[in-house]
Structure 1
């Protein structure tokens, strides 16, 4: 029962909340804001809308719009250099998890003498960051409420920065920004959020009662509303529920840890640039099936939240129903489910398995049961 729980100090969830971003930054004392996003956010008009709101509030704005999936260390350093040249005193992250992760590091490094490499690992950051506001445009990563940023280094390895300074001052959820998400992005990010909830609840290392409550509530929201938004992407109520579920799942996993699903997904993103949510979806079902014997009690408990209203004869049948439900969600997602069709070469499978077990040991340690390199390679091969 002993645990530490960290959280963002302020959350705004409201359709149209983008219009509040100017007053939020003025309340934080920021007058020169750098907006960190990707080119798609510009083309959708969201970056322009945010800039106009900020300028109306009296803020000067610079835009860094070159964030790419699995952002590289070079890209983050470019964004930091632009922010320093602009003399930014506030950072707005707008977009998916990659943009939010990059924005967090920009806020941390603008006025720091540390290099990005100095931050890799846990609690390496020194000093305070620049005021930071995060606005997600997808319902998946939960990055707007976590103190972790994941990037890809020059050697194509995933590097994580864990620091409480990465928590933003304000997280703003505006479901109107998610209405135009393509079905495949909706599916990938929704499954990513479900993975966060499931792995937080089954964590062997930092599982705690607060994360458990958030994870189960998140899973109920996500499970009920993912099919709705896949059927009708303009369903504002369901989109709002997905954002709320994603946020709660983010709060859960960052305080309890993720596990093997993320561990197996990381090399797929770093080596083959498969978007993070899709990479998680690829390995989600086989890893959960692999964990069933060790996680039966927890899966049975989660079944009551994912499959609300259903009756189960016993713990084993409930756990099996949960695993089958996850398998069904992945199958029905519309996402490509074979590595061989995603330009993953077969020779990389044992190499990635070694990376997972050796280089991402902390996540394997959180998994409900142990995994060997052979186990990991077998899972990759099962979806090849």
Structure 2
């Protein structure tokens, strides 16, 4: 049985790779890029740095820095205008998952002439789009290597998963030095996000031998380095390892898809404005516990990849060790429950049914080893609350 694999065409990886951004843009035919970023990176001087690199290479960039966390359909409108005003021939997503998701959406909307809701799953869009170059500054979202973007619908608070080849960056720059200034909270949330990508890609019903290798390697690396990067943001070896693992996990889930954690995570973000990586972290231990018996061998492989068990360990014991480790890891990096995050119980309970339905409608839970019904999803939401 054959399977399909799609990856960025060009990747520059390693310390100092950002200095090659301008040459890379020209290599993929982008001379007038719109650099899509956020105000924080403007204030840090990083946007100005990239503009200088682009101009030195002969590019003529413009900047759109008004992206918002968890971008919405309305937040895209000024970005579309910026693309058109600059007559951009490509977009650069520079930042965490939100600027990269925004850039991907702008690249498609600039050519497709439709609203972003037209592209949500189960749609698969492979039509006209501007070339996308991705420059991540966090080690977590993996968006630089995926054929997905996530945009929240202003009218319904639904986090829409928009998939398809046109959302895949043609090139990416993976420079771990861009992540050294990440605070501990962001390091933790994005790191557990990357681990979730790797585990879900490996246990997904759409996993394949190509994605398996990437996912297992990413798990091993994250298991070894996440606590180090969280404890000491200037540990460059840990930062470099986490950056590469994040991209490997992104490549894995882009081609194997994600599963129940992500399906349940998006509604939490949409209704309660919890960052995507953090909502994944809130869910990962409980969803793994719920799912493990349906794929003991796969979850046992995850435990072995993370050096929690060896080949002599019974699969059931190894899978249980994985669940225990996820509980401990999330405690070690101070992942809060929804209650600890500040979500009121009455508000949480009032949204349970709609969140559960949106989770199932996203399609991701159908990839899970154990496919839940709506009542089971509601119970899982109740389980993680406190």
Same fold (TM over 0.5): yes
Q: Report the TM-score, using the length of structure 2 for normalisation.
A: 0.94
CA distance in 2, matches of 1:303, 1:89: 45
Question: Would you say the 8 A contact 2:259–2:367 is kept in 1?
Answer: yes
Shift of 1:10: 1.4
Question: Would you say the 8 A contact 2:268–2:355 is kept in 1?
Answer: no
Query: In the alignment, what sits opposite 1:159?
Result: 160
Indicate whether 1:8 and 2:8 are aligned: yes
Q: Which consecutive aligned stretches of 4+ in structure 1 deviate over 4 angstroms post-superposition?
A: 308-312
Query: Which string of whole-angstrom CA distances, capped at 9 and with x for unpartnered residues, describes residues 122-169 of structure 1?
Result: 455364322221011011111001111000012211112111011112
Indicate whether 1:186 and 2:187 are aligned: yes
Question: Would you say the 8 A contact 2:15–2:176 is kept in 1?
Answer: yes
Pairwise mapping of residues 13-32 of structure 1 onto structure 2 (< 5 A)? 13-32=13-32
Indicate whether 1:138 and 2:113 are aligned: no
Question: Would you say the 8 A contact 1:211–1:255 is kept in 2?
Answer: yes
Query: Which string of whole-angstrom CA distances, capped at 9 and with x for unpartnered residues, describes residues 316-366 of structure 1?
Result: 211111111111111111232243542244343363344334553411211
Question: Would you say the 8 A contact 1:123–1:164 is kept in 2?
Answer: no
Question: Would you say the 8 A contact 2:146–2:168 is kept in 1?
Answer: yes
Query: Which string of whole-angstrom CA distances, capped at 9 and with x for unpartnered residues, describes residues 274-319 of structure 1?
Result: 0000000111111111112212211111111112675754122111
Indicate whether 1:68 and 2:68 are aligned: yes
- Evaluate the alpha carbon distance shift between residue 348 and residue 13 of structure 1 in structure 2; reply closer, same or farther with a 3 A threshold: same
Question: Would you say the 8 A contact 2:132–2:169 is kept in 1?
Answer: yes
- Evaluate the alpha carbon distance shift between residue 12 and residue 69 of structure 1 in structure 2; reply closer, same or farther with a 3 A threshold: same
SS in 1 for 2:255: helix
- Evaluate the alpha carbon distance shift between residue 190 and residue 358 of structure 1 in structure 2; reply closer, same or farther with a 3 A threshold: closer
- Structure 2, gaps ≥5 residues long: none
SS in 1 for 2:78: helix
The farther-off stretch of 354-363 and 317-326 is 354-363
Question: Would you say the 8 A contact 2:308–2:318 is kept in 1?
Answer: no
- Evaluate the alpha carbon distance shift between residue 309 and residue 116 of structure 1 in structure 2; reply closer, same or farther with a 3 A threshold: closer
- Evaluate the alpha carbon distance shift between residue 379 and residue 56 of structure 1 in structure 2; reply closer, same or farther with a 3 A threshold: same
CA distance in 2, matches of 1:103, 1:157: 19
Indicate whether 1:349 and 2:349 are aligned: yes
- Evaluate the alpha carbon distance shift between residue 297 and residue 355 of structure 1 in structure 2; reply closer, same or farther with a 3 A threshold: same
Query: In the alignment, what sits opposite 1:102?
Result: 102
Quote the RMSD (CA, aligned, Å).
Answer: 1.8
Query: In the alignment, what sits opposite 2:198?
Result: 197
CA distance in 2, matches of 1:121, 1:212: 24
Query: In the alignment, what sits opposite 1:237?
Result: 237
Indicate whether 1:365 and 2:377 are aligned: no
Question: Would you say the 8 A contact 1:33–1:62 is kept in 2?
Answer: yes
Question: Would you say the 8 A contact 1:22–1:54 is kept in 2?
Answer: yes
CA distance in 2, matches of 1:168, 1:187: 25
Indicate whether 1:269 and 2:275 are aligned: no
The farther-off stretch of 262-271 and 178-187 is 262-271
Indicate whether 1:121 and 2:111 are aligned: no
CA distance in 2, matches of 1:247, 1:119: 24
Question: Would you say the 8 A contact 1:122–1:163 is kept in 2?
Answer: no
What is the total number of aligned residue pairs between the two structures? 383
Indicate whether 1:314 and 2:350 are aligned: no
The farther-off stretch of 246-255 and 342-351 is 342-351
SS in 1 for 2:161: strand
SS in 2 for 1:67: coil
- Structure 1, gaps ≥5 residues long: none
Question: Would you say the 8 A contact 2:303–2:309 is kept in 1?
Answer: no
Question: Would you say the 8 A contact 1:350–1:377 is kept in 2?
Answer: no
CA distance in 2, matches of 1:126, 1:213: 26
SS in 2 for 1:293: helix
CA distance in 2, matches of 1:354, 1:219: 32
CA distance in 2, matches of 1:111, 1:315: 49
Shift of 1:383: 2.5
Query: In the alignment, what sits opposite 2:380?
Result: 379
Question: Would you say the 8 A contact 2:309–2:318 is kept in 1?
Answer: no
